[in-house]
Structure 1
Amino acid sequence: MAFKLPSVYNRLMVTKLSTKFGEAVKFVSQPIPTLGSSEVLIKNRFVGINASDINYTAARYDPTLKLPFECGFEAVGEVVSTGDKCKRSQIGQAVAYMYPGAFSEYHVVPEAFVMPLPALKSEFLPLIVSGLTAAIALDKVGEIRKGETVLITAAAGGTGQFAVQWAIEKGCHVIGTCSSDKKVQFLKKLGCHRPVNYTKEKLRDVLKSEYPDGVDVVYETVGGDMFDTCVKSLALHGRLCVLGFITGYESASGIAPMHTVGLPALLLKKSASVRGFFLFHYTTHFQEYMARLVQLSVEGKLHSTIDDGSGHSSGPFYGLESIQSAVEYLYTKKSIGKIMVDLTPNASMTSRL
């Protein structure tokens, strides 16, 4: 199979360091690149939006980045060209990848980062960053075990939905926080045992009255007051996994203020721990866990919920030009599941795979 490639393609490039995504990026047209011997050229179809997209445009993860640089972490697409030493990738193959620069019509990716898919379908997109984060963090850092109580913050979000399902699959009792009754219903459909709408109930009070012995594992992505509450609600030998602190990402420092006083003493008296998790420190597990997530999805045991922005004033999200709106939408707290942009221009909803 051969693809007729354009001479140029469009991508988003970061030209200014800022947490304001629209101010940070510009559209750039570039010639189709020449591949290295172990590289793959992928035509992107679906790209995912992540809270950390604005951390990346602010160069918080890698202060050594020189402007301009690429952005976007993940995509599902189709292989259209391969280097002469590529062994696993075939032209026309559906693939997923996690590699900087995904906000682009085409992208060159080292073959080692390419993960095969059974079909070019949007349902596999949330498994990349969100699914891998949930599964690897809960297994390797949270060390969840059957019968434990697990608290998932921002449980109706892109990664939260998988953390809920993964913990349930492991035989845990799952508590999930969210910000609306609509999200409560969504969490119930996922099987979450105790959804908590924190705009109507105080999480601290719910945990104190319903879980007096504390929670064994916390999957924490919010930060600030939420982090404080979670630390104080840990059980004996409890583990709190810090995956981020989204409430602070738009601030100048990028860190949500916390008010936990005497953290060492709080942990000591319960033999508890706070553990950090950064997905790219676990790259050796990507292929294994992605294969497991895809298989569970195909078998109908793991459900990927996608938010294409239909409920947003500028949605649904199609084409590179809608990525800015999609990033802004994430911070409205109105999205459910993984926010996705379909790079097919002017596509209709019925044409989606």
Structure 2
Amino acid sequence: MSIALVTRRVFLAVDGKLRIKNAIFRSRLISAPRRSIVDMSYSTHFMDFKGSSIPSSMRKLVVTKLSPNFREAVSLQTVPVPTPGDGDLLIRNRFVGINASDINFSAGRYDPSVKPPFDAGFEGIGEVVALGLSASANHTVGEVVAYMGDGAFAEYTVVPAKKTVPVPSAKPEFLTLMLSGATAYISLKKLGALSEGEKVFVTAAAGGTGQFAVQFAKRAKCHVIGTCSSDEKAGFLKSIGCDRPINYKTEDIQEVLRKEYPKGLDVVYESIGGEMFDLAVNRMATKGRLIVIGFISGYQTATGIKPVRTGTLPAKLLQKSASVLGFFLPHYLSEYKAAMKHMLEMCEKGELVCEVDLGEMTPEGKFFGLESVFRAVDYLYLGKNIGKIVVEIPHPVSSKL
């Protein structure tokens, strides 16, 4: 009687690394010297690098219905822990980032061809607990990485190794750079063309990406004006170099710009849209550049857009030789690696403030666990945050990081 040979995906624990490969077995497992083999076709979990069992199931947020109402569109589900492919890393998420565009994603606006269900969340940071065989050439189990990619709102996420960035530790401050920091850094560098002494206007300046736009513009020796919604935020903006915070709850933005900056704004970093976009266009200087990185005022509407008065926009741009430029980070990934390298170096030297808002000051307390992602998204749209909103993902496995 012949014995059939079958191919199964397995984890190999070799010299402290968990690797995945296809292996050929006979009718039962074979233990090779100095290797332990876990056959994933029979076992629903495996041991992580600290000797603790990774559970067979996990929780994640899944978009089950297209809607700009995040709570209506997304559900918390229990699913099997995924298995990384040959070039992938399995990451145990420690922190995940909240973005205004999470709602655009749940509404199906980024890729209308993708239908529910699909995973939610854009960015995370955590430790590698398993990896594919080819991924082990440049990564190790236990390494801490940050990443940008779909499916971050989960306890464990499989990410292609090439899309991850090694970071010194699992601190939420490093997570702020992945989308928010990179958006500000690359957009101002490539589209802003900042020059010393220019007037740079940043909307939502105390938010996740605005905080970086303020700092990068100031490092370019520009005069920075930033909008915010409270005196506390105005104080934060001053602490990171903003020359003129404008609390729009107590001051009229248009009046401040008209009186204090009669020659106009050289560069506008705009994320609000609607009336704010109209105001910024009207206050642009000759040869001014307005960079659109978002339009959050309309994200929760059915269309995702709040109307602007653009009927005379061509004439206004022509009269000032001004320009309006759109920026979407996925279109500038060729600049991403260099940007991250520079920002991480700045962080290590203490040259960059990466403000994180973990929700500790909210009535319900810290954003802790995937269920709090819903509350964190609501918090962002209330405009209460200072810095980047981040949710901590707890695990029963203790960590020494």
After TM superposition, the score normalised by the length of structure 2 is: 0.85
1:10 to 55, 59, 66: 59
- Other-structure match for 2:360: 310
Structure 1 position 88, deviation (Å): 2.0
User: CA-atom RMSD, angstroms?
Assistant: 1.6
**Whole-angstrom distance in 1 between the partners of 2:190 and 2:78:** 41
- Other-structure match for 1:331: 381
Q: What residue identity is the alignment partner of 2:163?
A: F
2:171 is the counterpart of 1:121 = yes
**Whole-angstrom distance in 1 between the partners of 2:80 and 2:376:** 26
- Other-structure match for 2:74: 25
2:106 is the counterpart of 1:106 = no
Question: How many residues are treated as equivalent by the alignment?
Answer: 350
Q: How does 1:66-145 map to 2 (within 5 A)?
A: 66-86=115-135, 87-145=137-195
Structure 1 position 333, deviation (Å): 1.1
| Higher Rg | 2
**Whole-angstrom distance in 2 between the partners of 1:215 and 1:346:** 51
Partner-residue secondary structure (3-state), 1:176: strand
**Whole-angstrom distance in 2 between the partners of 1:39 and 1:346:** 24
**Whole-angstrom distance in 2 between the partners of 1:325 and 1:249:** 17
Structure 1 position 329, deviation (Å): 0.6
2:327 is the counterpart of 1:274 = no
Partner-residue secondary structure (3-state), 1:50: coil
Structure 1 position 45, deviation (Å): 0.2
Q: Is the 8 A contact 1:38 1:82 kept in 2?
A: yes
Q: What residue identity is the alignment partner of 2:326?
A: G
Structure 1 position 310, deviation (Å): 1.5
Cα distance 1:307–1:346, how it changes in 2: closer, same or farther (>3 A)?
farther
Q: Deviations over 1:270-293 (max 9, x none)?
A: 100000000111111221111111
Partner-residue secondary structure (3-state), 1:101: coil
1:49 to 98, 109, 115: 98
**Whole-angstrom distance in 2 between the partners of 1:14 and 1:29:** 13
Q: What residue identity is the alignment partner of 2:70?
A: F
The higher relative CO (CA closer than 8 Å, separation ≥ 6) is in 1
Q: What residue identity is the alignment partner of 1:296?
A: M
Q: Deviations over 1:5-51 (max 9, x none)?
A: 22121111111111111111112222222222111111100001000
**Whole-angstrom distance in 1 between the partners of 2:351 and 2:127:** 25
**Whole-angstrom distance in 2 between the partners of 1:89 and 1:144:** 37
**Whole-angstrom distance in 2 between the partners of 1:340 and 1:352:** 21
Partner-residue secondary structure (3-state), 2:147: strand
**Whole-angstrom distance in 1 between the partners of 2:232 and 2:171:** 26
- Other-structure match for 2:339: 289
Q: Deviations over 1:149-168 (max 9, x none)?
A: 11000000000001101111
- Other-structure match for 1:207: 257
Structure 1 position 145, deviation (Å): 2.1
**Whole-angstrom distance in 2 between the partners of 1:335 and 1:308:** 9
Identity, % of aligned positions: 53
2:290 is the counterpart of 1:240 = yes
2:242 is the counterpart of 1:192 = yes
Structure 1 position 206, deviation (Å): 1.1
Structure 1 position 352, deviation (Å): 11
2:208 to 134, 154, 158: 158
Cα distance 1:352–1:20, how it changes in 2: closer, same or farther (>3 A)?
farther
**Whole-angstrom distance in 1 between the partners of 2:90 and 2:395:** 20
Q: What residue identity is the alignment partner of 1:18?
A: S
Structure 1 position 294, deviation (Å): 1.1
| Mean CA deviation greater in 218-227 or 87-96 | 87-96
Q: Is the 8 A contact 1:130 1:162 kept in 2?
A: yes
Partner-residue secondary structure (3-state), 1:269: helix
1:35 to 78, 84, 106: 84
Cα distance 1:7–1:180, how it changes in 2: closer, same or farther (>3 A)?
same
Q: What residue identity is the alignment partner of 1:312?
A: T
Gaps in structure 2 of 5+ consecutive residues: 1-15, 18-47
**Whole-angstrom distance in 2 between the partners of 1:138 and 1:220:** 11
Structure 1 position 314, deviation (Å): 2.4
2:270 is the counterpart of 1:224 = no
Gaps in structure 1 of 5+ consecutive residues: none
Cα distance 1:144–1:253, how it changes in 2: closer, same or farther (>3 A)?
same
